[in-house]
Structure 1
Amino acid sequence: MENELREYSVGELARTAGVSVRMLHHYDAIGLLKPAHVASNGYRIYGYAEALKLQEILFYRAAGMPLREIAEVLNEDQPLQRLLIHRQTLAKGLTDQAAMLATLDRTIAHLSGEAPMPIEDLYKPFSAQQQADYEDWLVETYGPEMAEAIEKARKHAEESPEGFSENRIKRLREIETALVASYEAGATPESVDLSAHQNWVSDMWGQPCDAQAYKKLSELYLAHPDFIARFETLSKGFSQWLSTAMTAWSERD
């Protein structure tokens, strides 16, 4: 609440946002970001709403959007709706880049005389170093609670007789093969039954994967290029489809 009531001079807002005062003056001049009010001494004063708007402008600028288009976007919809649309655009861009990287890696391997990776290799457990790297990334991205979840999953895997066994990998292969077949047959993400996949995740975690956790997992699948590249190897465009399907499944009535 304190932050929402705070006011910033043009210099303070510039320092906080990491932009120049000149830029803020320009945004004011073209009507893109007006101050909340102008003090009696002529200083521009910005509030919390203006700081949020500046953050949104910087999101769009980072994506390469011209100021004229940003002004048009800001006049449409509500801030939350605009940001959700922008997030979807960024997620799609990340998916496309990861797909291109996966294709590029396969091309480089071919030109280098290396044998292409068999599809079965997608289902081999991560190496110890890969696993450690992914866990570090998860904790850094999602915070301390993720570290607790990882520790619980690790303990379950160590205590489970099945562990990351061939039988468990085989079940995942069968589940994903069926999903890829549905995707390539033209099924919409909202029409598929993901109960088997959600149950497999619960089994791997050693605890229930409820709707909220399953939705978070769908976001994770589009948050790391390695996950995207893996699903794109199964079928081009499958990563986005699967994530959308998981979100729809978690939000079903």
Structure 2
Amino acid sequence: MESRIEEYTVGELARAAGVSVRMLHHYHAIGLLKPAHILRNGYRVYRRIEALRLQEILFYRAAGMQLREIAELLDCGAPLQRLSAHRSRLVKGLSDHATMIATLDRTISHLTGDDPMMIEDLYKPFSPEKQAGYEHWLAETYGPDMALAVAKAQIDTKEGFESISEDGAKRLREIETALVANYEAGASPENVDLSEHQSWVAEMWGQPCDAGAYGKLSEVYLAHPDFIARFETLSEGFSHWLAAAMVTWSKHQ
């Protein structure tokens, strides 16, 4: 039994978790993480149970889950069950990454002439089912013509981002860093210059990205969880802001 009650102010909890006070205020406002109690002066006070809940939230955010999904998950089962299930998913992810690394090592050795590879060995880490499912979703949602063009934007998902060239990835990081800075500074999505982003998309597609295709891409960003997850890791709420900015930008092209 604990000999004392651990209590933390919002600032203390934010510093311990490496998050902002503003984020904890937001979590409180949406009911995701409520303080143990609020003092008369308005100060929020958290205890061990809230600290553990915040840790669980951060585990799921790191996995790319949206806050709405996290809230629904936290309403199901006990913390021990949820964390055990999440651990199992992470272990599977480690196994998948181990396969990826092993294939990378073999490919590097192959390119230096030390390890010949069969054609099948090149693609062991990649799931044909996932890619086929993604393309099927695109075709059903937007039609075969649009799906063909937008499918090339799969580089914006986590898996695809890792496969683009170093120069392409560096440029995307620079573009997104600037956009995130605008977003976090409170810029309106109606007043953002997206010419660099649109140009980058066109280069990655290998064909022009006109206003119609660019506007339609914003719908894909909001409709498919892979895209949302990647943008939300850059900054919470950024996916919706970017999509709104893309729609406005495409209307003025």
- The alignment's TM-score, normalised by the length of structure 1, stands at 0.47
Q: Which has the higher contact order (CA 8 A, sep 6+)?
A: 1
* Rg (Cα) greater in structure: 1
TM-score (norm 2): 0.47
